Amino acid sequence: MDMKEYIDEAEASLLHTYNRYQIVFDKGEGVYLYDIEGKKYLDFVSGIAVFALGYGNKEYNDALKDQIDKLIHTSNYYYNVPAIEAAKKLKKISGMDRVFFTNSGAEAIEGAVKTARKYAYLKDGTTDHEIIAMNHSFHGRTMGALSVTGNSHYREAFEPMIGNIRFADFNDFDSVLANVNKKTCAILFETVQGEGGIHPVKEDFIKKIRALCDERDILLILDEIQCGMGRTGYMYACQKYGVKPDILTSAKALGCGVPVGAFMMTEKVGQNSLKAGDHGTTYGGNPLACAAICKVIELYEKENVLENVKQVGAYLEKRLDELAAKYSSLIVERRGMGLIQGLEFKEPVADIINAAIARGLVLINAGSNIIRFLPPLIIKNEQVDDMIDILSQCLDKS
């Protein structure tokens, strides 16, 4: 079948919950994707911050093949070596003490919310505790994750959500403080807001929130599902500020393509929250997914991924700033950290993204008027230049 026939078949069979771009991808190599007709695309999306190591990494692929031949699944009634090794490695890079493996980022958020509520319940035996989340945040599509997502558009058709959630303004400490009361059990936010427009946390804000949580025994939950695993130049973005959360969520690049997530916590939280029977998952922590985590963490160190992100991220910022200055009549500003960047435009960006795709560049939006840049973390300066050249052509035509 040709491209159109595949797309028509998909539209006849798949539930229409995505407005997909009109491409059927077939394979990837390095930082490039190829459609079924052989057209080559420079990838500045990486599966929404997932394929950090790029496509076709032989060591990664071989590790998965080896594990497939050994053992894929046993359930959590038993131990397995990859899960034990993955937990050990994840503790080391995150600085956290306890790990629970999930199948997705949304599940990691669900677990984090349950952990916070159980922690509070064990303190006073009541179930009316509140969580403060942020306006314009995004934490996932499940009912619990939607409940703490600060965008009413995502929630309104699915009300009622889980209760006792308050929303404050991100990077506004006074707004958070105004929502805190004796029933507040957790404060939750993304260290870099992704869907909300690529807004990094301010150092003063995160440090004040950490101090507030310490003072009142409130749990700080940081969502690093998109911005974690090296995308900011730090394994987790909070490490830039020297702030350790009580609970940390991770997914996307954690498995570099294999669906896997995790929520992690301090020993104090681990010893005073979820117990046997409180939470579970059939697939979470399976040997295949955990073998992926082990190899990803190993390759990050071997291939100096964090150093590359810092170097190329600084170059990407420079080139995007130049682009914003050149097209100031179209672009409001650049925001971001490392290799999670955004350009805010004065008008919707759909036509620009479609024009880029036609020229062999894959981009996505974050809201209607922001282009989001999430390339594989192995990207080089030359490929940043290629992206800027293509995007400039699209802006010249807009």
Residue range 370-396, pLDDT digits in tens: 999 999 999 999 999 999 999 999 999
Q: Same domain, yes or no, for 49 and 191?
A: no
Distance CA 4, CA 97 (A): 50
| pLDDT band, very low/low/confident/very high, at 397 (cuts 50, 70, 90) | confident
- Which of 283, 302, 321 is at the close of a domain? 302
**Is 66 among the domain residues?**
no
Supply 249's token pair: 């969520």
Q: Where are the alpha helices (DSSP H) in the chain?
A: 3-13, 46-49, 58-70, 81-94, 105-124, 143-147, 152-155, 173-179, 203-216, 267-271, 287-302, 305-326, 350-358, 381-397
Supply 178's token pair: 């105004």
* Mean of the per-residue pLDDT values of the chain: 97
Q: Same domain, yes or no, for 210 and 120?
A: yes
* Predicted confidence (pLDDT) at residue 201 exceeds the cutoff of 80: yes
**Among the listed residues 95, 116, 205, 101, the one whose alpha carbon sits nearest the alpha carbon of residue 162:** 116
**Is 268 among the domain residues?**
yes
Q: Categorise residue 360: left if φ over 0, alpha if ψ from -120 to 50, beta otherwise.
A: left
Supply 1's token pair: 């079948």
- Which of 250, 273, 302 is at the close of a domain? 302
Q: What CATH number does residue 279 fall under?
A: 3.40.640.10
Q: Same domain, yes or no, for 212 and 274?
A: yes
* 114-152 residue pLDDT tens: 999 999 999 999 999 999 999 999 999 999 999 999 999
Q: Tokens 């150093």 sit at which residue?
A: 307
Q: What CATH number does residue 326 fall under?
A: 3.90.1150.10
The pTM of the full predicted model, rounded to 2 decimals, is 0.97
* 266-323 residue pLDDT tens: 999 999 999 999 999 999 999 999 999 999 999 999 999 999 999 999 999 999 999 9
* 93-124 residue pLDDT tens: 999 999 999 999 999 999 999 999 999 999 99
* 167-199 residue pLDDT tens: 999 999 999 999 999 999 999 999 999 999 999
**Structural domain of residue 388, as residue ranges?**
3-56+304-397
State how many domains the chain has.
2
